[in-house]
Amino acid sequence: MNLAFRLEAMTKAFGVGIIVAPEVAARLAASDPDGQEWRTRRLGMVRAKGFPEAVAAHELYSTHSSSHAEWQRSDWDAAVDAFTSGDWAKAYDQLDSLFSTDPAGQCLMRVMDRTHRTPPANWDGSFVPEPPLTEN
């Protein structure tokens, strides 16, 4: 299967419109270096069905309709770094205090909540995102 298709299937779990692979994020950055039209933000290392290696997922968004505050970019990156490195206490605190209403932040918190905010013994920084539970 195509990686783009697998990443698109993760948009619901992250609550974002478009997820792209690192190569696409890099091309966009090169074509719009000042981020006038498009920006990306890292979502973490994901395991896509049918792909043996984890891939860095990036949300793609328009600067004209973004709900992301640019001044919080370094805080977001720090939370994703803490999550990926396994410092889940720090990651959870940052996500909960700064990004509790952000659907992508909620996705990362769901991953941590699955194991009571303790990384699994075999944690390698990658995960399969899960969509929010739906109410019947």
Which pLDDT score, from 0 to 100, does residue 68 have? Answer: 77
Cβ atoms of residues 108 and 86 within 8 Å? no
Domain assignments of the chain as residue spans, ordered by start: 1-67, 69-121
Which pLDDT score, from 0 to 100, does residue 135 have? Answer: 52
Q: How far from 29 is each of 22, 26, 36, 58, 125, CA to CA, in Å?
A: 10, 5, 10, 12, 24
The number of residues in the chain equals: 136
Q: What is the pLDDT along the chain (136 residues), one digit of tens a residue?
A: 598 999 999 999 999 999 999 999 999 888 877 777 888 999 999 999 889 999 999 999 888 776 778 889 999 999 999 999 999 999 999 999 999 999 999 999 999 999 999 999 999 999 999 888 765 4
Q: How many helices (H) and strands (E) does the chain have?
A: 6, 4
